[in-house]
Amino acid sequence: MRKGMPIGRLDPEIDRFDEAIAEGDELRMEYNTSHLNRDQRKGLLEKILHAKVKGATKVIPPFHFDFGFNIHLGENDIVNYDVVMLDDAEIFIGDNVLIGPGAKFVTASHPKDIEMREMNPFMTYAEPIKIGNNVWIGAGAIILPGITVGDDAIVGAGAVVTHDVEPRTIVVGNPAKILRRL
């Protein structure tokens, strides 16, 4: 998807978009349902990401994504089970990041303007998400489009992150607010 630019059912690029999603569907099903050993799973993850898996990075299935190739994992990351990364735009994950079970990274959204939605049904746009180094994303946290989480931050379980998170802070709640600085 074009960064920040809307796409909808009437857009000429929609067929290419749908094909890429279908490819992602096949890889996701294989990753989540196959009984693969560690090396086979790592190889399939590299195929999904279109990149080498660095260090001890581990993604525990089930793992949900749209495309896969817009996800950039760092070194020594742990992505726990049932994490969702809707990678309509790029998702950058730094090094030594812990992502709790059920966390969601949502790069896509829809226009707030009713007329825009009526003109082009299912109109969607996407903004990248950036997660710094040494970050801990708690279980069930939701990171919304365009968010940056700074180095050494903690996002509490169940937090809904609607604004950037400063480095070395703990945020909790819905919407996420600073609990304290580290």
**Which residues are marked as active site?**
110
- Interatomic CA distance for residues 4 and 125, integer angstroms: 5
Contact 76, 96 (CB under 8 A): yes
Contact 44, 27 (CB under 8 A): yes
One-letter amino acid at 27 equals L
- Which residues does 120 contact at the CB level (< 8 Å), separation at least 6? 6, 8, 9, 10, 11
Which candidate, 106, 111, 112, places its Cα nearest to that of 147?
106
- Interatomic CA distance for residues 69 and 48, integer angstroms: 6
Contact 59, 36 (CB under 8 A): no
**Residue in the structure block whose two tokens are 């994504």:** 65
